[in-house]
């Protein structure tokens, strides 16, 4: 199987087990930043309120991604090919370019986190570069072997992460102390809910990339929802507890506070590597929609190795995490709203022949681009009180209104 195949998957070849799809998403969301999200909520709201925000926000955010997953199962096309209908050919390429560039930072960041955990228990700080290089190459090799190889790797990684996580959870529960109470305002609660929803929605642009290998649309939606929601239900409250024990919401200090070096290293390393499976795959698909002559395996290796090199050369990525999340949110969340409006609300089918024939596509779908811009503006304005839901809602509404006036079919040939 092509490591980053853009062609539609025939229905007869959509044989990926639903359980493998579930494992891919759960492995992607078991990551240090999920812990950190819960830690941030705990420091602001206290235990019970933060726990409630986590459950509601994680469930709803995962639902938004799961609603789009059946698009892949029904039509067999990757996300950035499906995006050509609501955004136009050039509009979809622009989203692909954003994904391609920003994912280098995610790949490098995850390699650094995993290498730091490994070096802490085996070799010390002097081996950090070696660990980062080795883990980067290993994760790239798995993705280069194709989606089924990722599924098999996750079958090993997820149970091991569950065991390591259970050991850390037990230690955290035994050391936990009562969380302070808080009385936040309604606006403050909206901000916290938005943080959790936004974190989950950050996976939205891969809605069809893996589900296109699973035949059942309903089961694919359930698998994606469970794969995103369940680790959040577990790791965000765990992050809240660890932050209270450590007196800090820094992931390294939080995990070090338990004194479980080997279990910590196993969890963080596998979590970071399996998340990079998804990052490398998404970037490869995105690049191939821009450079049509590129090959699947060649693109995967190029992206994986460049991301690894960036991690070796830059050590300040963790400090830029918040800025990166804000930038990505303002750009990508409104695009998610456009996709939800087009595929979920309007339930538009995909003309397979059309989306692969660039001469038949409009270069720019006016309705989609205007809705994207409107959502971006709303995101930036609403950021102080919580931007994800307002940006999603505004981009959806603008798209639906413009579509009702047939602006959605305005064509500008590429």
Task: Give ∠ CA 16-22-23 in degrees, rounded to 5.
Answer: 95
DSSP string, 54-99: HHHHHHHHHHHHHHHHHHHHHH---HHHHTHHHH-HHHHHHHHHHH
Question: Domain 14-409 classified CATH 1.10.4160.10?
Answer: yes
Q: Report H helices in 202-257.
A: 217-246, 251-256
Cα angle 238, 65, 135 (rounded to 5 degrees) comes to 60
Can you give the pLDDT at residue 297?
Answer: 83
**Residue 244 has what pLDDT?**
81
Mean pLDDT of all residues in the chain?
Answer: 85
pLDDT at residue 103, as a whole number: 83
pLDDT at position 262 is 82
- Write down the pLDDT at residue 188: 72
pLDDT in tens, 380-398: 898 877 788 899 999 999 9
pLDDT of residue 115: 86
* Mean pLDDT for back-to-back runs of 10 residues, the chain (414 residues): 78 91 90 80 75 90 94 94 93 89 83 83 86 94 88 89 87 74 66 85 88 95 96 90 77 72 83 89 88 83 91 66 64 90 95 88 91 94 84 95 70 47
Q: What is the pLDDT of residue 369?
A: 94
pLDDT score recorded for residue 224:
96
Residues with Cβ within 8 Å of residue 340, at least 6 apart in sequence: 64, 67, 68, 392, 396
Q: pTM of the full predicted structure?
A: 0.83
pLDDT value at residue 358: 82
Q: How far apart are the C-alpha atoms of 307 and 79, rounded to whole Å?
A: 22
DSSP annotation of 214: B
Q: How far from 284 is each of 244, 288, 379, CA to CA, in Å?
A: 39, 6, 28
């Amino acid at each position: 199987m092509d490591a980053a195949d853009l062609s539609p998957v025939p229905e007869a070849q959509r044989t990926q087990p639903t359980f493998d799809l579930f494992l891919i998403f759960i492995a992607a969301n078991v990551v240090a930043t999920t812990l950190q999200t819960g830690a941030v909520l705990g420091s602001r709201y206290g235990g019970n309120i933060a726990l409630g925000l986590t459950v509601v926000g994680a469930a709803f955010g995962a639902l938004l991604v799961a609603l789009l997953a059946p698009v892949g199962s029904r039509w067999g096309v990757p996300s950035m090919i499906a995006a050509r209908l609501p955004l136009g050919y050039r509009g979809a390429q622009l989203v692909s370019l954003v994904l391609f560039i920003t994912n280098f930072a995610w790949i490098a960041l995850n390699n650094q986190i995993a290498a730091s955990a490994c070096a802490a228990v085996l070799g010390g700080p002097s081996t950090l570069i070696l660990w980062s290089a080795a883990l980067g190459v290993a994760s790239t090799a798995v993705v280069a072997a194709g989606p089924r190889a990722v599924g098999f790797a996750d079958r090993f990684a997820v149970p091991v992460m569950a065991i390591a996580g259970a050991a850390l959870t037990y230690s955290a529960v035994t050391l936990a102390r009562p969380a302070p109470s808080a009385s936040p305002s309604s606006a403050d609660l909206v901000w916290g809910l938005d943080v959790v929803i936004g974190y989950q929605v950050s996976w939205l642009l891969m809605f069809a990339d893996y589900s296109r290998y699973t035949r059942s649309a309903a089961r694919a939606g359930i698998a994606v929802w469970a794969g995103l929601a369940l680790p959040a239900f577990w790791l965000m409250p765990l992050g809240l507890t660890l932050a209270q024990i450590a007196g800090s919401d820094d992931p390294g200090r939080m995990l070090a506070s338990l004194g479980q070096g080997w279990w910590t290293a196993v969890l963080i390393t596998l979590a970071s590597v399996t998340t990079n499976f998804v990052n490398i795959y998404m970037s490869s698909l995105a690049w191939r929609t821009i450079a049509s002559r590129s090959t699947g395996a060649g693109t995967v290796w190029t992206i994986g190795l460049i991301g690894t090199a960036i991690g070796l050369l830059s050590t300040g990525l963790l400090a830029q995490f918040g800025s990166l999340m804000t930038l990505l949110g303002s750009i990508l969340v409104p695009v998610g709203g456009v996709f939800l409006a087009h595929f979920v609300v309007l339930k538009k089918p995909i003309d397979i022949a059309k989306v692969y024939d660039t001469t038949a596509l409009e270069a720019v779908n006016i309705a989609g681009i205007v809705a994207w811009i409107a959502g971006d503006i709303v995101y930036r304005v609403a950021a102080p009180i919580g931007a994800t839901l307002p940006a999603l809602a505004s981009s959806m509404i603008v798209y639906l209104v413009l579509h009702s006036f047939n602006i959605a079919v305005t064509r500008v040939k590429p």
